[in-house]
Amino acid sequence: MKLSTRSRYAARAIIEIAKQTGDKPITRKSICESQEISSSYLENILIVLKNQGIIKTIRGPRGGYVLAKDPEEISMYEIVKAFEGSISAVHCVDDPKNCPRYKDCPTKIVWEALMKSQKDVLDSFNIKDLMMRSENQISPEYLI
């Protein structure tokens, strides 16, 4: 599986939104600057995240973006699925009706296991975990 830039940038943007204390919104400009993502590209990502119910927008002069649910409830699988759709390596795992050989296919067990393992890994990481890991990292500038 190769993820699109949109999935990777979405994860970084959500972590940046999650770093805000309380329900204080963060502006798109702040996310762009901290994550080095162009404003127009980020806007399209944020629209998808809002439509998927992952983030909310707060309107007004002190508006911006906040998480729509707790960071521990947002898995990387949810983010990747919002931008990639299925993570299956082959189409027949998603819809066996599309493959006349699916019932007797000797390799389907491999494709099903591959999809399950990818989903399990992505589900095992949530935004809170990733946010905490990023806060605990030591910047290379401070290494002696």
| Structural domain includes residue 40 | yes
Rounded Cα distance between 120 and 59, Å, is 36
Q: Which CATH number covers residue 13? A: 1.10.10.10
Rounded Cα distance between 42 and 16, Å, is 12
| Structural domain includes residue 101 | no
pLDDT over 60 (residue 142)? no
| Structural domain includes residue 12 | yes
| Structural domain includes residue 96 | no
Domain count, the chain: 1
| Structural domain includes residue 55 | yes
DSSP 75: B
| Structural domain includes residue 13 | yes
Rounded Cα distance between 132 and 65, Å, is 20
**In this structure, which amino acid lies at residue 79?**
I
How many CB atoms are located within 10 Å of the residue 29 CB? 11
Rounded Cα distance between 84 and 27, Å, is 25
Task: Tell me which residue range forms the domain holding 51.
Answer: 5-86+126-136
Rounded Cα distance between 108 and 95, Å, is 12
Say whether pTM exceeds 0.95.
Answer: no
Q: 67-120: per-residue pLDDT in tens?
A: 999 999 999 999 999 999 988 888 888 888 878 888 888 988 999 899 999 999
| Structural domain includes residue 142 | no
